[in-house]
Structure 1
Amino acid sequence: MARLRRRPRDPEGRMTLSEHLREFRRRLFIAAAAVIVGAVVAGFYYSEIFDLLTDPFYEYARNNPQVDASINFAEATAALSNLISLSIFVGIIGSSPVWLYQIWAFIVPGLTRKEKRISLAFLGATIPLFLLGCGLAYAILPQSLSILYGLSPSGTSNIQQASMYFSFVTRFILVFGIGFLFPVVLVGLNAIGAMPAARLIKGWRIAVVLIFVFAAVATPTADPFTMFVFALPLTALYFGAWLVCRRLDKRKAANRPDWLDVDDTEASQL
């Protein structure tokens, strides 16, 4: 019987449609498996995760003993639903290095060697920035809750349904995490030549205004404290991205052939 041989990989990364589909299925399976494994592991630590995410709420309750504040489950299945949703949320966050790498690995065969290095650096910056944004959101969550709950009229209670509370908290954390990816996108656009550093610094005033508008709209709270705490780091990251783009542009200019700088009305040396 003839032995089946695996088709050798094309050095230029070219694939047939069926090979692309098989590769997509394999990467999708690995990413889904990583999320499932992360969710299962998170399920075993559900009590610790629950305490971690409810601690900002109970910190507010401890600082305001005159307020009746508690988290409740509305129905018999609410606790189970909360366990599943929180486990999936933590599984997605915890497995982000795996599924982000799978996205990168699926795109890589169609890229040049230089583009592969750029995309790998892009991936390497994405994960720490995302986690930094999530960490900042958790750090300011007690103050944001204190401001929001402080608007409750005298004599009222802050009794929260668990599903609504955790929906708010997870959304709050994800918005900060995704927002912190903004400078990585700018650097990525610069790397492909779509966003030069000169354009970034020229339009910095408009960019800062748009950042504050985005912070006001994207955050699930309406208080100015949260908006400023979100917008100020994004503004700093914007200028940090400009510095990186400026360095990349200088490197591109240093490697640019001299004949490309000749005026259109003059003859080149070629």
Structure 2
Amino acid sequence: MTLIEHLRELRGRIIKALLGIAIGAVLGFIWYDYGLLEFLKQPYCSLPNELRYPSDDRCTLLFLDPAGGLLLRLKIAALTGVVISSPWWLYQLWAFITPGLHRNERRWAVSFVALSTTLFALGTICAWLTLNAGLRVLLTLAGDEVTAALTAPDYLSFVISLIVVFGVSFELPLIIVMLNLVGVLSYETLGKSRRWLYFLTFVFAALITPTQDPFSMLAMALPMVVLFEGAIQAARIHDKRAARRAAAEGYGDVPDDEPSHLDVTPSSIEQPYAVPAPDPVPLPTSDQRP
């Protein structure tokens, strides 16, 4: 494919991904009236009454401008569309990369989409389970004399950003596995940098979590460490199999930058194919001339 053809392919994949997100956003816009908002309010409503405003059995979120309700609904619908359509746009991403791979590598498409969707869902579940504890820590830091009156845009932006951050962060081990499968990152490199990888995981979790509390940091970092270790072990298994295949082919000890051995023996030159001469065109006789 030429560069223009690649750009056309990319444009088509982006359009298809955006259409999937748009369909998911429409579903999220409709779902808003059928329990989506109540579902997102649940971590806040499960807090003790003294941490909420008003301090009774009601659970109310505020918005401070006339267009706040519409913008809130559109924002939730758009982010819901991104989450719902994640298998579709992840497939479009992988389908754009697939033509540059070998035939056996194309078989990873289904596994890539399934694993990436599963990891994103696992990240959102971990975020949801830690959301209540994170809110409790943040709302109690101001003391007993202060009651938090959260606005709907601020609260839902906080919830959705936490879910998205957890979901995307859980995709990082899968990226390591894919880089190992295409030969960019080896198990030897991962094994040597394991300690730094785990340390940077805790630093990343401390910086990326919106709550900035130790509970949320550990809730993100510990599962990521387990996933990273699984990715390292997957790289170890893959590199061992690749080494066995290379040894069976006789190139196991050949460095990657060493050229292949070429057969310089000259081959016999075949005789050129003789093109038969065309039949002569008869000249017109005197009686055929005008």
Q: Same fold (TM over 0.5)?
A: yes
Greater alpha carbon shift after TM alignment, 80-89 vs 26-35: 26-35
The one-letter code of the counterpart of 2:126 is: L
Query: Alpha carbon RMSD of aligned pairs, Å?
Result: 2.0
TM-score, reference length from structure 2: 0.80
- Contact preservation (8 Å) 1:104, 1:120: no
Instruction: For 1:261, give the aligned amino acid.
Output: D
Shift of 1:18: 4.0
TM-score, scaled relative to structure 1:
0.86
Structure whose CA Rg is larger = 2
Q: Deviations over 1:51-84 (max 9, x none)?
A: 1111100101xxx223343420111110110000
**2:38 is equivalent to residue 54 of structure 1:** no
Counterpart residue type for residue 52 of structure 1:
F
- Supply the distance in 1 between the matched residues of 2:233 and 2:71 (Cα, whole angstroms): 46
1:115 and 2:99 correspond: no
Instruction: Check if 1:95 corresponds to 2:79.
Output: no
Which stretch shows the higher mean deviation, 157-166 or 109-118?
A: 109-118
Query: Alignment partner for residue 2 of structure 2, among 16, 24, 31?
Result: 16
The match for 1:126 is: 116
1:17 Cα shift? 3.9
C-alpha deviation, 1:198, in angstroms: 2.4
CA shift at 1:141, angstroms? Answer: 0.6
Determine if contact 1:27/1:106 at 8 Å carries over to the other structure: yes
Unpaired segments ≥5 residues, structure 1: 1-14
Greater relative contact order (CA < 8 Å, ≥ 6 in sequence): 1
Q: How many Å separate the matches in 2 of 1:120 and 1:251?
A: 22
Distance in 2 separating the partners of 1:101 and 1:86: 23
Aligned residues: 249
Question: Is 2:223 the counterpart of 1:233?
Answer: yes
Deviation at 1:154, TM superposition (A): 2.0
Q: Partner amino acid for 1:230? A: M
Amino acid at match of 1:182: L
Structure-2 change in CA distance of 1:19 and 1:201 (3 Å): closer
Instruction: Tell me what 2:69 maps to.
Output: 79
Residues 224 and 39 from structure 1, CA distance in 2 versus in 1: closer, same or farther, beyond 3 angstroms? same
> Which segments of 5 or more consecutive residues in structure 2 lack a partner in the other structure?
54-59, 256-260, 264-290
Contact kept, 8 Å, 1:118 with 1:191, in 2: the verdict is no
Q: Hey, what's the Cα distance between the residues in 2 that align with 1:85 and 1:46? A: 11
Q: Name the structure 1 match of 2:26.
A: 40
Separation in 2, partners of 1:92, 1:28: 13
1:112 Cα deviation from its structure 2 partner: 1.8
Query: Of Structure 1 and Structure 2, which has the larger fraction of its residues in helix?
Result: 1
1:214 to 200, 204, 209: 204
Q: Of residues 194, 211, 221 in structure 1, which corresponds to 2:184?
A: 194
